[in-house]
Amino acid sequence: MSIQMLTKALVATSLLSALSFSATSLAGHKATHNVIVNNTSISGSFGSARNSADSVQYIASLDRGTYMVVMAKSAAGVSKSCTTKNPTHFEQLRALGSDSFLYVSVSGSTCTNVDIQNSSSFAPK
Measuring CA to CA, which residue among 36, 40, 39 is closest to residue 48?
36
Q: Is 112 left (phi over 0), alpha (psi -120 to 50) or beta?
A: alpha
Task: Tell me which residues of the chain have a pLDDT lower than 70.
Answer: 1-27, 125
Which pLDDT score, from 0 to 100, does residue 16 have?
47
- The predicted model scores a pTM of 0.75
Which pLDDT score, from 0 to 100, does residue 114 have?
98
